[in-house]
Amino acid sequence: MKHNRHKLIRFEECWLRESNLKEEIARAWEDSGTNLSNRIKRCVEDLARREADRYGDVPKSIKITQMKLDKLNRSADNEGVASEIRRQK
């Protein structure tokens, strides 16, 4: 059985700081028919898409940065071990 999974989209506070937010919401609202659910969905999707275009895939960027940091920490640990071995010689 196939399940339709919908991605949960939340309103982001940072959107309130956008200078042309009202115009974008009005445009999305008018372009999405008369159904209230469709209008809200279209507004949030447009804002989320705009955020993704502006900031990229933030969770992915965080994951990549965390992996780099972990690698640096392992390197630092290994360097510390190497230094300790050199001191013991």
pLDDT in tens, 38-61: 888 888 888 888 878 877 877 888
Q: Would you say residue 12 lies in a domain?
A: no
Token pair for residue 44?
């949030």
Residues 52 and 74 both lie in one domain:
no
Please check whether residue 5 lies inside any domain of the structure: no
Tally of structural domains, the chain: 2
- What distance lies between CA 67 and its chain's CA centroid? 17
Q: How far is CA 25 from CA 8, 10, 40, in A?
A: 19, 15, 9
pLDDT of residue 63: 92
Question: Confidence band (pLDDT; 50, 70, 90) for 87?
Answer: low
Pair 63, 42 in one domain: no
Helix (H, G, I), strand (E, B) or coil at 32: coil
Regarding whether 62 and 89 lie in a shared domain, the answer is yes
Residue 67 confidence (pLDDT) above 80 = yes
Predicted pLDDT of residue 18:
73
Q: Does 49 lie in the same domain as 28?
A: yes
Give pLDDT, residue 47. Answer: 82
Look up the domain containing 52 and give its range: 19-56
- How much is the pLDDT for 77? 67
**Backbone CA torsion sign across 21, 22, 27, 32:** positive
pLDDT in tens, 2-40: 555 666 766 777 777 777 888 888 888 888 888 888 888
Q: Quote the tokens at residue 12.
A: 């982001």
- C-beta separation of 16 from 25 below 8 A: no
Nearest to 44 by CA among 81, 1, 7: 7
Q: Are 24 and 50 found together in one domain? A: yes
